[in-house]
Structure 1
Amino acid sequence: MTVLVCADLDRTLIYSTAAFALDGPDETMPRLLCVEFYQGAPLSYMTEASARTLEALSTAAAFVPTTTRTPEQYRRVQLLEKPAEYAVTANGGHLLVNGVDDPEWAASVRTRVADGSAPLAEIREHLVRTGGDFVLKRRDASGLFAYTVVDRASLPSGWVDDLTGWCAERGWRTSLQGRKVYCLPACLTKAAAAAEVAHRTGASTTLAAGDSLLDIELLEAADLSIRPAHGELHDTGWTSPSTTVTTARGILAGQEIADWLLEHA
């Protein structure tokens, strides 16, 4: 019996220093492992205990990193000694098989997105037109969706809500994660890619983990799921009958999630 485990990365399994949420004295701090470098500097971490647990999990189940990161951003992360056979990137827009993009899956996603939502150029133009000094960067991701990096302290009240409403009328949705505001086609989901992996692996059971609004379909589609006691889903109070919530926050929640996934796999 194959168990499929689909887990989000950022603020679910791996954490930047800004997201650690470690408030105890130094002697109680866990030992940390850097799993991502960017431009020569350390960027993302997990606890050493989490790293050991994920190695065991990758043996016990079909472990699939499932992220909104682009393939290029995902490849910077070194979670396992031997990379996972499957990885879902770009929020389901790309399916990597042994590190290589599956072109047929990517093409099918682009067809679905083109048929079900307004073009990316229209979203990009709106972000430029409505943005202000609070916008630090604007980026496109894999030609599929857009995101902006914002200064949260100066983000105008109601701007994200207004953007959400405008996007919804055009078949898009938004997600605010840390300093990033994502705009994605509503039909671009991690759950669809996870279902494809389940079909290919013959998985009979699916476990999932995630922290943002973009993970809802994935968590709901799984037989059992877990989310951390922080992030977008926690802030909105989202839950479901099959979803567990961690007791810890921050990077220790990541360790709790890894332990939970291994136990249930």
Structure 2
Amino acid sequence: MVASDLDRTLIYSQAALDLTMPDEKAPRLLCVEIYEGKPLSFMTETAAALLPELAARTVFVPTTTRTRKQYERIQLPGPRPEFAICANGGHLLVDGVTDHDWHRQVTRRLGDECASLAEVRSHLLSVTDPSWLRKERIAEDLFAYLVVERDLLPEGWVKELSEWSEGRGWTVSLQGRKIYAVPKPLTKSAAMREVARRTGAQLTLAAGDSLLDADLLLAADHGWQPGHGELADSGWRADRVTLLAERGVAAGEEILRRFLERGSKVAV
């Protein structure tokens, strides 16, 4: 079973492509997401060819912090995955439909183990400044995130928010221009384990680039993290997790190669 984060792991916005080579040597790209009539997310054509091969050999599970609506905009090459994990584990999709029993289990746990979304949202709004805040959103009634002008963020603001959230059972993650506040019990790893249980998977592989992917990487039998992103920049390392040299869209291609290589060895 392969559980992989999407944004800045397998798919990339224009700003995240990191095409540092000469233009004539840049890889051909395939657009996999349109938003408001404009191309938004890409992968290399080579990666687009590798993904259907991976899906044919493994249980491939897209695993994202995106809401269900945001996930549904993505058109990955190959057949639609039977399982997908959205909202950082808050929703488990089976053939595109929410598993309501799973969602109820998650929401019960959040109610028992951490501060309420209302409390956290109220604090977020009280400590933000209109000069650098662009959007404030609630995702699936599970967590909150801000879209900010990152260059204008006060020094130490994210650290202070993290410390405040820690004591209330929440995690803060800075990813590009987005700052996520997510309940600690809301994890991708729990949903990954549930899919592994249902499918009988004996080996779990994972990939991700952000703090919200750390639990997923630690729960898998082996994981990969690209050379960019929150985890790489912070110096995060773990046993059974390989830090790749590749950055940007090239890392997405390499991650798919590693998934296929490891999966093929098991099959043999």
Using the size of structure 2 for normalisation, the TM-score is 0.97
Q: Residues 156-193 of structure 1, C-alpha deviation per residue, up to 9 Å, x if partnerless? A: 00110010011111111100000000000011000000
The aligned counterpart of 2:5 is: 8
CA distance in 2, matches of 1:87, 1:7: 10
**Given the alignment, which residue of 100, 103, 115 partners 1:103?**
100
CA distance in 1, matches of 2:238, 2:166: 23
Partner secondary structure for residue 167 of structure 1 = helix
Q: CA RMSD in A?
A: 0.6
The aligned counterpart of 2:145 is: 147
The aligned counterpart of 2:217 is: 219
**2:26 matched to 1:37?**
no
Partner secondary structure for residue 205 of structure 1 = coil
Gaps of 5+ in 1: none
**Given the alignment, which residue of 13, 17, 34 partners 1:20?**
17
The aligned counterpart of 1:250 is: 248
The offset of 1:95, in angstroms, is 0.1
Gaps of 5+ in 2: 264-268
CA distance in 2, matches of 1:214, 1:72: 19
CA distance in 1, matches of 2:219, 2:110: 20
**Where does 1:50-65 land on structure 2 (aligned, <5 Å)?**
50-65=47-62
The offset of 1:80, in angstroms, is 2.7
Contact 2:51 2:78 survives alignment (8 Å) = no
**2:83 matched to 1:86?**
yes
Q: Residues 168-220 of structure 1, C-alpha deviation per residue, up to 9 Å, x if partnerless? A: 11111100000000000011000000000000000000000000011111101
The aligned counterpart of 2:175 is: 177
CA distance in 2, matches of 1:260, 1:114: 38
The offset of 1:13, in angstroms, is 0.3
The aligned counterpart of 2:165 is: 167
> AA paired with 1:54?
L
**Given the alignment, which residue of 119, 122, 141 partners 1:125?**
122
Partner secondary structure for residue 42 of structure 2 = strand
The aligned counterpart of 1:231 is: 229
Instruction: Say how many residue pairs are matched.
Output: 262
The offset of 1:240, in angstroms, is 1.2
The aligned counterpart of 1:157 is: 155
